[in-house]
Structure 1
Amino acid sequence: MTPDPVHDLLRVLDLVDTGARTSEDIFTGPSQWSPLGRVFGGQVLAQSIMAATRTIEDERPVHSMHGYFLRPGDVDAPITFSVDRIHDGRSFSTRRTQAYQHGRPILSLIASFQSEDDGVDHQLPMPADLPDPDSLPTALESLGRVAELPEAAWALGRPFDIRHVDGGIYLSVDQPTPHQAVWLRSTGPLPDDPALHRAALAYVSDYTMLEPVMRAHGVSWATPGIRVASLDHAMWWHRDARVDDWLLYVQESTNAHGGRGLTHGRIYDRQGRLVASVAQEGMTRIPELRRDADD
């Protein structure tokens, strides 16, 4: 683990252009430490978006992406990103990024970029009467004495401060519900680069997306034998936002079945602007529930 998680985030997002120019653009990047030696999904999402962004020659920010996690990544190996310039039109550009390790794909992603344009404008309002983020406990305060255990380093060593509105689910769930809201921001300032902030928002969007599935069944991260993994991830950026200022992530799990759970999320800034929408399906295997189902 690094003593400066934000510096480490910037390090992994600063991809190296290999200079290879065949039918695709090739970049490489490192990985961060992660529990069990598996690459954090949000990291490879953000890196794939940065790789695609590096091939956009006009001022066209990413506005949507759809990605599939194909294999677990290895934190001890670099990642190669291959970008296919699928389409460049008058207003939109489309890129496909494949992330590889050991010669095998670990993520496949398609992203769309659009020049700024005028049009109709509306959004769902931000939930009202939520507590201020500074009034909520930090991950360290929520974990208490358990913070001394090696497993707790995952929550404490992240480049983002994440505070649950209705209590964390690190150790237990107070009241089962498929709804959740968290405040989040980076633990330090980031450069004034809108493209970097959009990629960093994709990074942090993967942290808590499957927690509403778990919360709906009263299951915490401390549940013995729990296995949770992202399968796919879709994201739409609506407006620019800084991830080094507080953002509200409102989440709802609309379905769980067959060992998979689906969650939808909306991200607002402190002014109430809807800055992004997210959808993710993930594997959610909980031993005690599977035994009940078998019975």
Structure 2
Amino acid sequence: MNFQKQSFAPTLAEQVSVKPVGTDDGSLFESVYCPIRMGNAAPIAYGGFTLGVAVAAAAQTVPSTHKLYSVLGHYLGPASTSSPVRIQIHRTRDTKSFATRRAQVTQDHNGQQRTCLEVLLDFHVVEDALFRYSEPPAYPLDAARPEDGISWEAQVAKHVANKTISRKVAAVADMAFAPSEAFFEGRGVPEGVSSQNLLGIAKTAKTTQDDLPITSKWSSVWQRMRGDRQAAASDAAQWACLAFIMDGALSFLPLTHSNRFLDDAGACSSLDIALRVFQPHVDLSQWHLRQAMTKTADAGRTYSENVLWDEQGRMVASMTQQSIMRAPSRPRSKM
């Protein structure tokens, strides 16, 4: 797979920022930056980008008292990395407790606006809690602290030293996931699958979960956002960045958890998303643990989930997706 270098914003908050386009009702926005790709050799946008700008735009149309709690919808077509996208916001509901927006992300394609993503976003005022509880991650938080994790750079270097990947493949891997490394400081939990097989890129690597069924396997990484905290100080910026990170690696997670990578599938991309936010205030400049598991697969589709916890053990958000996963029609070139 041939991954080319690409340029992106200095910080994630800037990358997913939007600006209003001249309409009287303030319902049309445009991304400040062009979409970026991640883990895809083709010039096709990473889904977390289009989702992030949709959240950023919708959040600008609701009162500050209302906090994001769900984003539900479908990826309807690929966005190109060559031009910005537009986000049309439709006001569906406005009450004292709830605000609902429908966001349609489009991009110019041969002189016409092609729809890439359509989502329904719900916002809710903060109410008193009758219950407070959170399911714990698969691997205990107190046994997997950020300082005990392994960086992407260290993972790559380890596989090169062990000869499970070549230096050429290492360079390709770094290029494929450069935006993630630029925007986030990451520490993979060593016991997780992706930390041991480099997201499936190191296909011959043995993992401690090899004997488990695929639905019991998990991957976890501690992440915190790089850059100036003021750039992402608003709730809207944090939610947009949250949408970006929660989309990560879900479409090809079944490949990762079976020691395979993108070149082992005929097609692999997200179809739908369900992002649910459980904490009204998010601060991604602090360490958060993201755990990924895949649940079921059939009929050319897979269903997987990312769950995010803060250091206090509170579940912050969940992202579930169905994704297309087609078998290759013919032998594919390897990385």
CA deviations on 1:31-84 (whole Å, 9 max, x unpaired) are: 243242111100110100111111113421111110211111011111111000
Q: Do the aligned residues in 2 keep the contact of 1:213 with 1:253 (CA within 8 Å)? A: yes
1:193 Cα deviation after fit:
1.6
Does residue 1:160 correspond to 2:195, yes or no? no
Does residue 1:267 correspond to 2:308, yes or no? yes
Residue matched to 1:182: 221
1:254 Cα deviation after fit:
1.1
Residue matched to 1:126: 136
Provide TM-score, normalisation by structure 2. 0.77
Trace 1:1-295 onto structure 2 (pairs within 5 A). 7-21=10-24, 25-29=27-31, 30-34=33-37, 35-102=41-108, 103-127=113-137, 128=140, 129-144=142-157, 145-146=167-168, 149-150=171-172, 152-158=174-180, 159-165=183-189, 166=192, 167=195, 168-169=198-199, 170-172=201-203, 174=207, 175-176=209-210, 177-178=214-215, 179-191=218-230, 192-221=233-262, 223-225=263-265, 227-239=267-279, 240-287=281-328
Count of residue pairs brought into register by the alignment: 287
1:147 Cα deviation after fit:
6.4
CA, structure 1 residues 143+284, in 2 after alignment: closer, same or farther (shift >3 Å)? Answer: farther
Q: Do the aligned residues in 2 keep the contact of 1:139 with 1:155 (CA within 8 Å)? A: no
Q: Matched residue of 1:251: which SS?
A: strand
Provide TM-score, normalisation by structure 1. 0.87
Q: Do the aligned residues in 1 keep the contact of 2:93 with 2:100 (CA within 8 Å)? A: yes
Q: Do the aligned residues in 2 keep the contact of 1:94 with 1:110 (CA within 8 Å)? A: yes
1:156 Cα deviation after fit:
2.9
1:225 Cα deviation after fit:
5.0
CA, structure 1 residues 148+274, in 2 after alignment: closer, same or farther (shift >3 Å)? Answer: closer
1:146 Cα deviation after fit:
4.3
Give the fraction of aligned pairs with identical amino acids, expressed as a percent. Answer: 22
Partners of 1:171 and 1:226 in 2: CA distance: 19
CA, structure 1 residues 156+143, in 2 after alignment: closer, same or farther (shift >3 Å)? Answer: farther
1:133 Cα deviation after fit:
2.2
Structure 1 counterpart of 2:63, one-letter code: E
Structure 1: stretches of 5+ with no match in the other structure? none
1:148 Cα deviation after fit:
5.5
Q: Do the aligned residues in 2 keep the contact of 1:8 with 1:32 (CA within 8 Å)? A: no
1:274 Cα deviation after fit:
1.0
Q: Matched residue of 1:120: which SS?
A: coil
Q: Do the aligned residues in 2 keep the contact of 1:143 with 1:171 (CA within 8 Å)? A: no
Partners of 2:187 and 2:248 in 1: CA distance: 12
Structure 1 counterpart of 2:188, one-letter code: H
Partners of 1:123 and 1:189 in 2: CA distance: 32
Q: Do the aligned residues in 2 keep the contact of 1:249 with 1:267 (CA within 8 Å)? A: yes
Q: Matched residue of 2:229: which SS?
A: coil
1:122 Cα deviation after fit:
2.8
Structure 2 counterpart of 1:73, one-letter code: A
Supply the RMSD in Å over aligned alpha carbons.
2.5
Partners of 2:308 and 2:143 in 1: CA distance: 14
CA, structure 1 residues 238+206, in 2 after alignment: closer, same or farther (shift >3 Å)? Answer: same
Q: Do the aligned residues in 2 keep the contact of 1:185 with 1:243 (CA within 8 Å)? A: yes
Structure 2 counterpart of 1:181, one-letter code: S
Q: Matched residue of 1:287: which SS?
A: coil
Partners of 1:74 and 1:95 in 2: CA distance: 25
Partners of 1:156 and 1:138 in 2: CA distance: 13
Partners of 2:57 and 2:75 in 1: CA distance: 17
Deviates more, 1:263-272 or 1:106-115: 263-272
Q: Do the aligned residues in 1 keep the contact of 2:71 with 2:276 (CA within 8 Å)? A: yes
CA, structure 1 residues 276+156, in 2 after alignment: closer, same or farther (shift >3 Å)? Answer: same
